[in-house]
Amino acid sequence: MNFKGIMTLLLAALMTAGTLASCGGDQAENTDTAAVNSETAAETTGEPDPFAALDFGGEKIRFYVNANDYYGSGSSNYLIKHDEETTGDIVNEAVYKRNTFVEELLNVEMVFEDCDYHYAEITEPLSNTISAGDDAYDVVVHDLFPMASMSVGGYFMNVRDGKYFDFTQDYWYDDYMSDLAFGSQQENYLLAGDFFLDIIRSAHAMYVNKDLFKERYESADELYEHVNNMTWTQEVFQSYIKDFYQDVNGDGKPDDGDIYGYGYVGKWGSAFPWISSSNIQHLSYESDGAPYFDFNNERSVKLLERLNDIFYDTSAHDYVGVDTNTNAFMSGTVLFGGYQRIASFEVFRDMEYEIGILPYPMFDEAQGKYVTSTHDITNIGIIPTTCSKMDTVSAVLEVLARETYNTVMPAYYETALKVKYSRDDQSSQMLDIVRAGLGKAFPLAYNNYCNNFPMSETFASPLGSNKKDFVSYYDKGLKAAQAKLDSLWDAFSSIEQ
């Protein structure tokens, strides 16, 4: 099939996929710590800034930034752009200082425009703009799954060609990016790193009511010990929720008014972080690099069985609606809160109960690492092929990512999350582990495109019907899903470098 034909099919699939998608710690004694931590990298180390010799002559770098708030956790664009005047808010001050520092260091001007198109709408206008050769934006910040699908269509720059990018640095999520590009280290069209802080805000995490935990298990410190000792597994989680159900209202039936070991919202979105945290390897590769689905194995079979055991346990409860689930956890009737993200901490911080945050459990101890998924509408970055100043953009984004890691991240932890940003603080440690686990992005980003096969049809759908026969669901959907994956790979391989 020629490139034009591939693109026609791809865009048609994108528009279809768009209709299917998507789905406290103590207050620091004062906020001066965050202010101190907001020093720039050069101020902190005392070393000359390696970018100090660059001068881009006042070039304008134009950002097109998603401004949508889909699920009430708030848009993250306030962590990208800055107000023209400082407001006194510590996070706002850190963002303002970061952006103005980068502008002065590199002699550039950053211009921000809000984008009001949501995930089901952005594909058509953005592809039209780029196809028309309209050099309207240098950086676009928008949702993962529509940007991932567009990335195989030749619309975006290969960021591996960026002169000043250094993806070995901790402030870039290199594994996450590579997973979105069939494991490639030569071709990457999506940017993920600390500057795009929505990735952290939408990262899935497990919450625990420490007060409720103490009533039965003494101290929640043992949970942190499990995490640090690499023994925080799904079986351990099951042991904690077992027999935790309490019929508080005495009506003889489980309902929203009772106490549960695990609370969640439906089997669809709630199952995704469990699948990702199990480190299922969805793809294998032919000698020429072509991917094929290859996860019909004992691990997947066992995972579906275990998910059914967890979600249909008498101590687990399906709350109808995100707000109902959140309110149940905040009211102290749920031990472990599921379907939550890091941004949920911004809401939970005012709870009267003491809470803790944890990574999702590993499949087993042999896994050896915690894996974190993000929501499929987390905001990532792209550079359109119409951008005429790739060197400047790569320098700007590199320093923005570095300074976010050094300045904005500590401010966000200490004020938005009210978590003391230090390595010896338990919540900070857990947040660092959740962040370090980012890397499993392909299944969510391309789930819709591939007939919902990687996550939904093989796991979430049978789970929703209390079915455990993974193999039959896998065999039923494999052929059609592989055909879609083949077309995805053909489009990716056809991109002119």
Each residue's pLDDT tens digit, 369-421: 999 999 889 999 999 999 999 999 999 999 999 999 999 999 999 988 888 77
CB burial readout 278-309, b (16+ within 10 A) else e: bbbebbeeeeeebbebebeeebbebbbebbbe
The mean per-residue pLDDT over the stretch 211-215 comes to 95
Reported as type and span, the H/E element at residue 340 is: strand 334-341
282's CB contacts (< 8 A; 6+ apart) are 293, 294, 295, 442, 443, 454
Is the pLDDT at 91 greater than 70? The verdict is yes
What is residue 3's predicted lDDT score, i.e. its pLDDT? 36
Q: What percent of the chain has pLDDT over 70?
A: 88
How far is the C-alpha of 281 from the C-alpha of 302, rounded, in Å? 14
- CA 293 to chain CA centroid, nearest Å: 23
C-alpha to C-alpha distance for 415 and 427, rounded to whole angstroms:
14
Q: Which domains does the chain have, with CATH numbers?
A: 3-201+377-421 (3.40.190.10), 204-371+450-493 (3.40.190.10)
- Convert the pLDDT of each residue in 307-359 to its tens digit: 999 999 999 999 988 999 999 999 999 999 999 999 998 888 788 999 999 99
- pLDDT tens for residues 231-284? 999 999 999 999 999 999 888 889 898 999 999 999 989 999 999 999 999 999
pLDDT of residue 192: 97
Q: Mind giving me the DSSP string for 280-297?
A: ---EEE-TTS-EEE---S
Question: Using CA atoms, how far apart are residues 197 and 342, in angstroms rounded to an integer?
Answer: 11
Sign of CA dihedral 399, 404, 405, 410: positive
**Model confidence pLDDT, tens digit, residues 14-55:** 434 443 444 433 333 333 333 334 455 556 566 889 999 999
Query: Which residues contact residue 465 at a Cβ distance below 8 angstroms, ignoring those fewer than 6 apart?
Result: none
Q: In b/e form, how buried is each residue of 408-444, taking b as 16+ CB within 10 angstroms?
A: bbbbbbbbbbbbbbeeebbbbbbbebbbebbbbbbbb
Buried b (16+ CB within 10 A) or exposed e, 45-61: eeeebebeebebeebeb
Write out pLDDT tens, residues 104-128. Answer: 999 999 999 999 998 999 999 999 9
Please give the pLDDT value at position 86: 66
The dihedral of CA 400, 401, 403, 407: what is its sign?
positive
Q: Structure pTM?
A: 0.89
Burial bucket for residue 2 (CB in 10 Å: 0-12, 13-18, 19+): exposed
Q: Kindly tell me the burial class for residue 123, based on how many C-beta atoms sit within 10 Å of its own C-beta (0-12, 13-18, 19 or more).
A: buried
Sign of CA dihedral 29, 35, 41, 45: negative
Residue pair 222/352 in contact (Cβ under 8 Å)? The answer is no
Euclidean distance between CA atoms 409 and 75, whole angstroms = 16
